[in-house]
A = this chain, B = another copy of it.
Amino acid sequence: MGKSRLEAFSDGVIAILITILVLELKVPRGIDAQALRPLWPVFATYVMSFVYLGIYWNNHHHMLHAVHQVNGRILWANLHLLFWLSLVPFVTGWMGENHFAPLPTAVYGAVLLLAAISYTLLQNTIVAHEGAQSTLAAAVGRDWKGKLSMLLYLLAIPLAFVHRGIAVGLYWLVAAIWFIPDRRIESRLAR
């Protein structure tokens, strides 16, 4: 079965999620600079979640690029990833409106962790389908970036209760690690 509809559906869902995020930025009542001030934490989380969804879209794009065919198992592994990503606007709103309070910040990390796990499951499902000799299998390798990210989320979640800055800093660190799309796949494909 072709992969075009899987790509189109995932593009659609991620495009909508990234746009729904902005609905959390409620239009303020006032018309002076004061009116914008309470929006800063919401705006800061908006930027972070936008970057995260952008990273997922980029990596999804790269991963699917190395895929030739999909099956029912891959469709569901993909929906599983989309499920956790679909909770990003909710946790973004909760964390942003509460100025990075401990529990919302920890739950935000938990959703990121579950998205990372589901991404890894999708990747493994595709590798199992494509075979250990495939471009994707070679490009992913031992997937240290994926494992490091999950470790950092696991650290950040309890640390959100110590100091919000540590957790948020770790989330940005993971984003920075992934900011550059998976060069491994681009370079493998170039050969």
- Name A61's closest neighbour in chain B (CB-CB): B5
Stretch at the interface among A16-24, A133-141, A150-158, A169-177: A16-24
- The residues of B that contact A8 with a CB separation of less than 8 Å are 7-8, 11
Contact: A181 with B61, CB < 8 Å? no
1/0 contact string of A30-52 vs chain B (CB within 8 Å):
01110010000000000100100
Q: A15-B16, A72-B180 are in contact. Are A31 and B101 (CB under 8 A)?
A: yes
Contact: B61 with A103, CB < 8 Å? no
- The residues of B that contact A2 with a CB separation of less than 8 Å are 65
Select A15's contact among B9, B31, B101, beta carbons within 8 Å: B9
Copy number in the complex reads: 4
Q: A15-B13, A27-B93 are in contact. Are A22 and B71 (CB under 8 A)?
A: no
- The residues of B that contact A149 with a CB separation of less than 8 Å are none
- The residues of B that contact A6 with a CB separation of less than 8 Å are 61
- The residues of B that contact A32 with a CB separation of less than 8 Å are 103
The range of chain A's interface size is: 35 or more
- Residue A87 CB within 8 A of the other chain: yes
Q: A12-B16, A87-B22 are in contact. Are A76 and B101 (CB under 8 A)?
A: no
- Residue A79 CB within 8 A of the other chain: yes
Q: A50-B86, A103-B32, A181-B72 are in contact. Are A19 and B11 (CB under 8 A)?
A: no
Contact: B181 with A75, CB < 8 Å? yes
Alpha-carbon distance between A107 and B25 when the two chains are bound, in angstroms: 15
Contact: A22 with B86, CB < 8 Å? yes
Contact: B58 with A76, CB < 8 Å? yes
Alpha-carbon distance between A162 and B189 when the two chains are bound, in angstroms: 56
Alpha-carbon distance between A86 and B6 when the two chains are bound, in angstroms: 21
Given contacts A15-B16, A24-B27, A71-B186, 5 further A-B contacts (CB under 8 A): A5-B61, A16-B16, A21-B86, A22-B89, A33-B103
